[in-house]
Amino acid sequence: MNDPQRLLLAELPGLRQYARALTGSREDADDLVQDCLERALSRWQLYRAEQQLRPWLFTIMHNLFVSARRRAAKRASVERQDWPPASVSAPGDGLAVAALDRALALLPDEQRTVLLLVGLEGFSYAEAARILDTPIGTVISRLSRGRQQLRELLEAADSPGLRRVR
C-alpha cells in the first residue's frame, strides 16, 4: 500500500481491456480508465489493504460506466460508435472474431457486462456480484441468459441466409 501509483499501473492493462469492451470505443475507453484511476486515487483512503485491488477498481469502473450511460440516456439516447472493440478480439479466424464482437454488441448491457467480467476478465461469480453490486444469483442468471443468447446469435450468423427461388 506504500505506492498506490505502482499498484494502479499494474492493473492498467486489465482496466483498459474491460473499458474497451464496455464502451466499444478506444477514446471512450481511455476516458473511462482515466476517470477510474482518478476516482481510485482520490478515494485511496477508502481502499483497505485486506481487500483485492482489482475487484475494487472494476467496481469503480463499472459504476462510472453505468452512471455515464444513465446520464447519456437522459440527454438523448446516444448510439455506440466504433464497435466491435479490438480488445475483445483474439488471434484466430477474423470472421469468427468479428461475428463474436457483433453478437456481444447486440446483448443487453447487463448480460454483456457479466459475460465480460466472468469470461474475459476471469472474475468468479462472487467477485462479479460484488463488482456489479448485485446478488450472485442474478449474476448466474444473467450469465446463463447471456451465454444462451450469444450462442443463438452466433448460430444465426453462421447459418447462410436462404433465398427463395420461384
Per-residue pLDDT, 2: 59
Residues 6+ apart with CB under 8 A from 40: 4, 8, 47, 56, 57, 60
Q: At 94, is the pLDDT very low, low, confident or very high (cuts 50, 70, 90)?
A: low
Instruction: Please report which confidence band the pLDDT of residue 93 belongs to, taking 50, 70 and 90 as the band edges.
Output: low
Can you tell me the mean pLDDT for 136-161? 86
Whether cis (ω within 30° of 0) applies to the bond prior to 84 is: yes
| Mean pLDDT for the stretch of residues 114-124 | 90
Express as a percent the part of the chain with pLDDT over 70: 78
* Least-confidence region, from 60-69, 73-82, 93-102, 142-151: 73-82
pLDDT value at 91 more than 70: no
% of the chain residues with pLDDT over 90: 45
Question: Which domains, and CATH codes, for the chain?
Answer: 1-83 (1.10.1740.10), 93-160 (1.10.10.10)
pLDDT score at 78? 40
Compute CA 69 distance to the chain's CA centroid, rounded to the nearest angstrom.
13
Q: Given this model, what pLDDT does residue 37 score?
A: 94
Q: How many of the other CB atoms lie within 10 Å of CB of 95?
A: 10
Please give the grid coordinates belonging to residue 102: 457483433
For residue 56, what pLDDT is reported? 93
Confidence of residue 81 (pLDDT cuts 50, 70, 90): very low
Q: Does residue 1 have a pLDDT over 80?
A: no
If DSSP codes are grouped into helix, strand and coil, which group holds residue 88? helix
pLDDT at 159: 65
Per-residue pLDDT at 20 exceeds 80? yes
8 Å CB contact between 103 and 154:
yes
